């Protein structure tokens, strides 16, 4: 059973890692910004010395989920593989190209763009630096406009993780007389919608006829926006709120706690936030980053294609289930087995 046992300690390591502040308007400024530690652990294994750069999207490392997990993957590579690593955070979309270009100009062996929102920037910079290896999380290589051959896509079946979260939400709701659950997305982009579509499908399978509310904050940072949406959903009867909005979504979970409702985390196991967290929909971005870095170190990196992480490969799944949801674990296990066996057709688009 793919159940994470990592809670505060693991995520805390990701968030306390030394990071660099994002650049402003050009690559030179990015290059001169203090970086995350580029020295390696003295006890790190001796391997091929490579330099790996990671550029966050606007959610930043304080999202305690998406970007934080990518950074954890880099930190794990520094410790386990002995690579040199640097993180540059992005404060706005206009930072993406300068940040990526800065690392490419410094001849980093691998540059990882964290997130769907960075697709155009990765496409632009990868074409300018064809000898540099790039990876992008949540966007397919073939989907990039110029289809650069030096990029590898790291994709996740969020709909499968969402389905598992929806299964336990629906089962809990049915057993406790709750007729409405909800989700709060950041921007309406494919990875977000895939989570939500799976969540709604899983809930419907576990509790036929359940009402599902959904809204988008159009933001991945401002927690107040997501909290306001969740409070409105709770006022409309939602008993369980699923956050799919990174750092902004933490506000949704806070709203659930404030109103005595349950919340479901995203990407990382967010059970550390309190007993009101029923579970979390997971995707192992840290593992994907670590594996990709190792492939470069081993001269086995395969650009020009994608790697897909799903339930079967244990690349996505569900986090620890709270005491309140423990009695519904069997339903989750059954759904997970069916997904791994390819027996369920799970939508990946909201409204499909």
Q: What confidence tens digit (pLDDT) does each residue in 25-40 have?
A: 333 333 333 333 343 4
Closest CA to 293 of 142, 123, 13, 71: 71
Count other C-beta atoms under 10 Å from residue 308's C-beta: 15
Taking the CA atoms of residue 275, residue 328, residue 330 and residue 279 in that order, the dihedral angle to the nearest 10 degrees is -30
The mean pLDDT value of the chain amounts to: 89
8-state DSSP, 141: G
Identify the DSSP state of 105: H
Of the candidates 75, 76, 56, 77, the residue with the CA atom closest to the CA atom of residue 65: 56
Q: Is 86 within 8 Å of 36 (Cβ atoms)? A: yes
C-alpha span between 242 and 256 (Å, rounded): 10
pLDDT of residue 155: 98
Quote the CA–CA distance of 105 and 39 in Å, as a whole number. Answer: 19
Contacts of residue 210, defined as CB under 8 A and 6 or more positions apart, other chains included, come to 170, 173, 174, 179, 180, 181, 203, 204
- pLDDT-derived band of residue 60, with 50, 70 and 90 as boundaries? confident
Q: If you ran DSSP here, which 8-state letter would residue 325 be given?
A: G
pLDDT in tens, 269-307: 999 999 999 999 999 999 999 999 999 999 999 999 999
Please tell me what DSSP assigns to residue 3.
Answer: B
Q: To the nearest whole percent, how much of the chain has pLDDT over 90? A: 84
DSSP string for residues in 237-280: T-SEEEEESHHHHHHHHHHHHHTT-EEEEEES--GGG-TTEEEE
The rounded distance, in Å, linking the Cα atoms of 339 and 205 is: 13
Strands 316-318 and 306-309: unpaired
The structure tokens 């569900």 sit at: 318
Segment 186-199, tens digit of pLDDT = 999 999 999 999 99
Contact 81, 47 (CB under 8 A): yes
Q: Among 16-20, 160-164, 176-180, whose mean pLDDT is lowest?
A: 16-20
């Amino acid at each position: 059973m793919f159940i994470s046992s990592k809670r505060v300690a693991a995520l805390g390591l990701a968030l306390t890692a030394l990071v660099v502040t994002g650049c402003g308007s050009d690559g030179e400024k990015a290059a001169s910004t203090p970086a995350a530690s580029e020295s390696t652990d003295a006890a790190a294994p001796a391997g091929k010395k490579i330099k790996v750069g990671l550029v966050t999207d606007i959610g930043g490392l304080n999202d305690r989920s998406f970007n934080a997990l990518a950074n954890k993957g880099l930190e794990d590579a520094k410790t386990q593989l002995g690579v040199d690593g640097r993180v540059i955070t992005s404060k706005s979309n206009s930072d993406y190209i300068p940040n990526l270009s800065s690392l490419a100009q410094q001849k980093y062996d691998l540059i990882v763009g964290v997130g769907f929102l960075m697709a155009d920037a990765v496409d632009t910079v990868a074409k300018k630096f064809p000898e540099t290896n790039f990876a992008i999380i949540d966007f397919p290589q073939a989907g990039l406009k110029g289809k650069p051959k030096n990029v590898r896509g790291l994709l996740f079946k969020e709909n499968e993780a969402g389905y598992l979260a929806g299964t336990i939400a629906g089962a809990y709701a049915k057993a406790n007389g709750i007729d409405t659950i909800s989700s709060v997305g950041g921007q309406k982009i494919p990875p977000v919608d895939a989570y939500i579509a799976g969540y709604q499908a899983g809930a419907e399978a576990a509790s036929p006829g359940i009402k599902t509310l959904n809204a988008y904050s159009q933001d991945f940072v401002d927690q107040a926006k997501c909290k306001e949406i969740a409070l409105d959903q709770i006022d409309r009867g939602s008993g369980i709120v699923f956050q799919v909005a990174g750092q902004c979504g933490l506000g949704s979970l806070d709203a659930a706690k404030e109103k005595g409702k349950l919340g479901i985390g995203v990407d990382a196991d967010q059970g550390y936030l309190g007993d009101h967290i029923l579970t979390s929909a997971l995707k192992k971005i840290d593992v994907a980053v670590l594996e990709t870095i190792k492939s470069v170190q081993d001269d086995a990196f395969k650009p020009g294609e994608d790697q897909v992480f799903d339930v079967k490969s244990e690349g996505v799944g569900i986090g620890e289930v709270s005491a309140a949801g423990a009695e519904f674990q069997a339903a989750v296990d059954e759904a997970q087995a069916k997904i791994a066996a390819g027996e369920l057709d799970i939508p990946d688009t909201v409204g499909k």
